[in-house]
Structure 1
Amino acid sequence: MLINKIVLDLIEEIKKTDLWTVMPPVEKERLAEIIAFVGGQDVTKRREKKSVQPAIYQFKITLKGMRPPIWRRFLIDNQVTFEELHTIIQIVMGWEDSHLYNFDTKDALVEILDDSFEFFPSAREKYDARETQIGELITEEKQKCLYTYDFGDDWEHELVLEKILPIDEKITVPTCLKGKRACPPEDCGGVYMYSEIQAALKGEGELDEEMIEWLGEFDTEEFDIEFINSILKHYAVNR
């Protein structure tokens, strides 16, 4: 293909520059992968999975930028994948799982990987949420992780591993232990717009008629833990 030749020629020109001489070996290796990729070769690497000692994780997740705070505390098996953790967060928070997401552990980025978007090298190590167990990357109490949902509204959540508990058949996982306040309505515009909605519902601002109709009977203080756990139970049975 013509595009392959163009990219190959471009990379070969880069290799003739001073930049190439000072490029770290790991980046040269990645460049070689790119050359092989555009040449039609299979350059997929299989990451060696880390052994995860079974345990129960107690997490607290807090929606950033919200006053008063919106948060949940829940238990989960540490051998579930980040994709499953995403689903459980959606349930305990009250989101509708309508958008993309990622997890940022500072050392790595966890998301649904698509080879078509992995053409150019990345400065950070990436893991596939569908294949990576949470216990591989989150290993210590008090460890924090950033969970971002909906890259349009950009809802950022701080996820903190509060406790690592031994496996106990008497403990049901996943389960929500506690929480406060309702999750914002999906697609409401992000932290700033939801703050405006909160203020208006308290009589400290105004909303247009269309927004009022869209919100319906929305209650910012509602948190139904029994309903959440019934959905988690159904999810656990059918996963």
Structure 2
Amino acid sequence: MVLKVKIQIKGITKPPVWRRLMIPGQLTFQQFHQVIQAAFGWQDYHLFQFSKGGYGSNPQIGIADENWSEEELVDAKTTRVSQYLKVKGEKFCYIYDFGDDWIHQIIVEDVLNEAQIGPVLINGKGACPPEDCGGVWGYEELKSILENPKHPDHRDTKEWLGLKARDQWDVNWFDLEETKHAVAFAIW
């Protein structure tokens, strides 16, 4: 089974930030997490969770830690994506970084009775927000600061992002070929 999925970060619209992938159903949710990290350009610094409807919904699929007992959690390392995502039109939620709360909506666009060894990125749109920028609200503020060279935090924000004085943050930047490569090697 191969799933064609669209994954979009909720709350970001100008431009929206999304990725479309073909993933083998035999991937574990841990592997799916790694694929999403590569597709969006996240750095895998934080905890994550998959669930049907976000926080408080079941199942909660993730990695147990000192804050989360194994009784509350379905193990992402051993649970296959095909156990929960099987039907065209089905929706699931991926939350990354429980402080910034990057909530991604996963939509199954197609289910193919084919075999595929690894994940494949088809396309996408929008620059992924930087890690630890404060979630959707913080990202909007960051974009506003970067658009205004007279803002008192403009220089410090560019420096924090690793941008040089003349560099600009491009909200539309998305390198399809580079990201395809990253996704192809995300689980190997």
TM range (shorter): 0.7 to 0.9
Paired residue for 1:182? 127
Match of 1:118, as an amino acid?
Answer: S
**Kept in 1: contact 2:92–2:107 (CA 8 A):** yes
CA shift for structure 1 position 210: 1.5
Q: Separation in 2 of the partners of 1:84 and 1:219?
A: 29
Paired residue for 1:225? 176
CA shift for structure 1 position 205: 8.1
Match of 2:95, as an amino acid?
Answer: T
| 108-117 or 188-197, larger mean C-alpha shift | 108-117
Q: Secondary structure at the match of 1:151?
A: coil
Paired residue for 1:96? 43
CA shift for structure 1 position 202: 3.4
Residues 108 and 205 of structure 1, relative CA distance in 2, 3 Å threshold = farther
- How many percent of aligned residue pairs carry the same amino acid? 35
Which whole-Å deviations, capped at 9, do the CAs of 1:106-163 have from their partners, x for residues lacking one? 44110113588438x75xxx31000100000111111111110011111111011110
- Specify which of 110, 121, 141 is matched with residue 163 of structure 1: 110
Q: Separation in 1 of the partners of 2:104 and 2:112?
A: 23
**Kept in 1: contact 2:38–2:186 (CA 8 A):** no
5+ residue gaps, structure 2? none
CA shift for structure 1 position 166: 2.2
Q: Which has the higher strand share?
A: 2
Residues 142 and 204 of structure 1, relative CA distance in 2, 3 Å threshold = farther
Q: Which has the higher helix share?
A: 1
Q: Separation in 2 of the partners of 1:71 and 1:235?
A: 18
The TM-score with structure 2 as length reference comes to: 0.85
- Greater relative CO (CA pairs within 8 A, separation 6+): 2
**Kept in 1: contact 2:38–2:183 (CA 8 A):** yes
Structure 1 segments, 4+ long, off by >6 Å, are none
Kindly report the root-mean-square deviation, in angstroms, between the aligned alpha carbons of the 2 structures: 2.3
Paired residue for 1:212? 158
Structure number with bigger Rg: 1
- Specify which of 147, 154, 157 is matched with residue 94 of structure 2: 147
